[in-house]
Structure 1
Amino acid sequence: MEADQDSNSVVIVSQHFPPDKSGNASRVHDTARHLVDEGWAVTVLAPPPAFPHGQFDPTWKRKQSQVKDGVTVHRLWAWQPLGEDPHFLSRMAYYVLFPLHVMLWTLFHYREFDVIITSSPPIFTGFAGLPFGLSGQKAWLVDVRDLWIDASVGLGFIEDNGVGERLARRYERVVLQQADQVTVTTTVLGERLVDLYDLDSEKIVHLPNGVDTDRFEPSASEPDPVIIYTGNVGHAQDLESCVRAMAELERDDVTLKIVGDGDIKSDLERLARETNLNGQVEFTGLVPRDEIPEILDNAMIGLAPLKSTDTLEYAVPTKAYEYMACELPVVATGIGEINSLIEDSGGGLLVANDPEAIADVFEQLLEEESTRSDLGSSGREHMIENYDRGVVAERLSGVLEEVHAA
């Protein structure tokens, strides 16, 4: 089933889409579903499932298609890394071959859509929109969720001011300047893009990640003494400090449950063994997305640990929204937007990236049920009013209509 030309139609290009396990995979899925409700004919273009890497069987099929929840999904072949922590060339093949395949698809099928959305990171998805941005034949919206280049430099993947960074900056400048509209998940992210690439601030629209508050909601069940982390177990998260914090707790009836997979999972497992925390730190690996709300409902505390670095000051993990929607008090580390979310929502506590400080906050929340309840109630109320994905998708629909009309 292709997009119906009788109604406004949009193509969404995303590196991740369920069953990929990432915050953006679920975000794109929910956004597409809600855009259908808003009257759009929606087609999603994604590569075969491959994230977290090493968790899926590779395929050589050129295209696989399905229709779900009214959304047409085309899986276009791209390189699929096999190892848990792929080497540089394997990662780059995964990132670059997919948008090149998408570019060919969109050029052959350009009559079937009115607007194209390219979701970044990775920044290479912009390849798929460039022909339309340069020609002006289709409306193009770039959805930016991450300062991917800044993060890559800050985490040591790209040399600071090296050839790789300079080339990536020039490419991203062209993409953002040629796009008709740029959506960002946080205000800090938008300000950073304006400063970096000399963009017109009128071109930037703030559309937060959000959460499905109907699916992520609390029940009346009594939670277990569990501190929960869900999502990518990667380099940007300060999970090492959280594991070490468990060794500082005075009580031993508490479990830190890390749900997900990623590049540093094996390192954290080794750290847990070395600090004799095998019984207090549990690594579940990947679980079906549908099980996450129940897992959160059975926990007492939600964990959103970011490293405190300027390159991540724009970031707000999707998991923080999900915790709050389930009335979990959030323990967060990091600077910038995550700090603003905690303060504005009243749904959690911000703590330094220090194991002892993190342990003190854990102890406080585990002991004080009333504090957990107050923080949880404030967080959920804030999510319903400001971050429900249906509300965010309605705003996106309005942006798409404006871009298409222009």
Structure 2
Amino acid sequence: MSDRKKKIIIVSQYFPPETGAAASRMGDLSKHLSLGNYEVTVLTEIPNYPEGRITEGYSFRFLQKEKVGKAQIFRSFVLPTKRRNFTERAIFYGSFFLGTLINSFRLPAADIVMGTSPSPLTALSAWFISRIKGAKFVLDIRDLWPASIISLTQMKSGLVVFLLKKLEKFLYNRADLISLAIPGFRGHISGVVDKPKKYIDLLNGAPDDFFEVEESNVSIDGLPNLDDKFVVFFSGNHGIAQAMDTLIKAADMLRESNKIHFLFVGNGICKPAMIEMSKEFGLTNTTFLGSQPRNDMPHIISMASLCVVPLQRLPIFEHAMPSKMFEYMARGKPIILSVQGEAKTLLEKSGGGICIEPECHEELVDTILLLSNNENKMSQMGIAGREFVRNNYKKSVIIENFSKALKEVLK
């Protein structure tokens, strides 16, 4: 491979300043690659997620360009929606797909085009761009579609599922390299493809600055004084998969405690129902904040006494590895994890928290009470988790290994 910088186009529907695991994943990836031996171009949507409206500072245009660090960002047309039902999701994903196809002809040359899925339409757009650019196609898999959709919606057949399965196989078979957020995805993909594929683990780790940023106060609208509280913390997507009602039920059982307070940071399809449920129960021990700037999250997590990572009790989530788990541990916070499978194995190995049964608010309450009365145990878990993630899941190291795999693809 020559000494010139290689050119990579990353196609991702989500990208900072949007919040969430996908935006953070692609933002960190573009940053680290652009600081290395790559000229990075990102094709993404005009920021609107998760609120479903264009972010302040941007406008409803077909294409906007900006520079983020050393990366060139092309922000493409999208029709923002709240994604509350199939129609709204189809409009959201479909409009971005069409916008990227049209805007693809305005992108620079590339040696590699990388598409991240979900949505598989975004990955399909990346494959199309790789063809017109004569570039290698790298497929990044953050979640298994349509398998996860089938699990969450019970939509086991029909035209949509049939087409998604066909698209899934099409993309896997045409990828020159498949990067995986979860190593356990290999088994599923190997059962779909026609011939063996090249894989690289691109794991959900912790950004380097989560280890480095010192604790400091952050001014947030709507945040009460929690200095004397034992703060049970959740951040990120308030979605169906997260079984958020479990947390509200736990808060209800702990309503008589003057010490324990639940702090929710983020947005999602289930958030309105959570707020309404909290009001119906008459809870005063819950606080709901919207999505916060990514740079503030290390400070906000530091407000937590312990952090919770819940998911529904579904077989598909046995391969889940929630990115928030790494971020919490990087900030030295003990975790209560209600997820089975690979995430449970990792947390038990780290010593950074306690694993409980999914969707069991009674066990969640018991574990919160146990830890709230054992400061020494919480401190030990926080230290153990932080060191485990520092030694094994720093994003800079993960992305450097990924960069080496890209070089092999180009040989």
TM-score norm. by structure 1 comes to: 0.91
| CA drift at 1:87 | 3.6
In the alignment, does 2:198 pair up with 1:215? no
Q: In the alignment, which residue of structure 1 is the partner of 2:27? A: 29
Residue 245 of structure 1: which of 245, 250, 254 is its match? 250
Residue 349 of structure 1: which of 341, 346, 354 is its match? 354
Alpha carbons of 1:224 and 1:395: their partners in 2 closer, same or farther (altered >3 Å)? farther
Backbone CA RMSD of aligned residues: 2.2
What letter is aligned with 1:204? Y
What letter is aligned with 1:318? S
1:224–1:299 CA contact under 8 A, matched in 2 = no
Residue 257 of structure 1: which of 257, 263, 268 is its match? 263
In the alignment, does 2:172 pair up with 1:176? yes
**1:9-36, Cα deviation, whole Å (9 max, x unpaired):** 1110101011211111011111111111
Residue 195 of structure 1: which of 186, 191, 194 is its match? 191
Q: Quick one: distance in 2 between partners of 1:299 and 1:152?
A: 32
Q: Quick one: distance in 2 between partners of 1:101 and 1:240?
A: 36
Q: Quick one: distance in 1 between partners of 2:115 and 2:228?
A: 40
| CA drift at 1:332 | 0.9
Q: In the alignment, which residue of structure 1 is the partner of 2:62? A: 62
* The 10-residue stretch of structure 1 (48-57 or 172-181) with the greater mean CA deviation from structure 2: 48-57
- The size of the alignment, in residue pairs, is 395
Q: In the alignment, which residue of structure 1 is the partner of 2:223? A: none
2:112–2:130 CA contact under 8 A, matched in 1 = no
| CA drift at 1:235 | 0.8
Alpha carbons of 1:101 and 1:377: their partners in 2 closer, same or farther (altered >3 Å)? same
In the alignment, does 2:336 pair up with 1:339? no
Q: In the alignment, which residue of structure 1 is the partner of 2:301? A: 296
In the alignment, does 2:117 pair up with 1:120? yes
Q: Quick one: distance in 2 between partners of 1:366 and 1:182?
A: 43
Equivalent residue runs for 1:253-402 within 5 Å: 253-277=259-283, 279-352=284-357, 353-402=359-408
Percent same amino acid among aligned pairs?
28
Q: In the alignment, which residue of structure 1 is the partner of 2:94? A: 96
Q: Quick one: distance in 2 between partners of 1:223 and 1:40?
A: 48
Q: Quick one: distance in 2 between partners of 1:261 and 1:287?
A: 10
Q: In the alignment, which residue of structure 1 is the partner of 2:5? A: 7
Q: In the alignment, which residue of structure 1 is the partner of 2:224? A: none
Q: Quick one: distance in 2 between partners of 1:332 and 1:59?
A: 40
1:330–1:347 CA contact under 8 A, matched in 2 = yes
Residue 403 of structure 1: which of 388, 391, 409 is its match? 409
2:7–2:38 CA contact under 8 A, matched in 1 = yes
> Which stretches in structure 2 are left out of the alignment for 5+ residues?
217-226
| CA drift at 1:243 | 1.4
TM-score norm. by structure 2 comes to: 0.90
Q: Quick one: distance in 2 between partners of 1:198 and 1:336?
A: 27
Query: Aligned to 1:211, what secondary structure does the other structure show?
Result: coil
> Which stretches in structure 1 are left out of the alignment for 5+ residues?
none
What letter is aligned with 1:276? G
Misfit runs of 4+, over 4 Å: 132-136, 216-224
| CA drift at 1:248 | 2.1
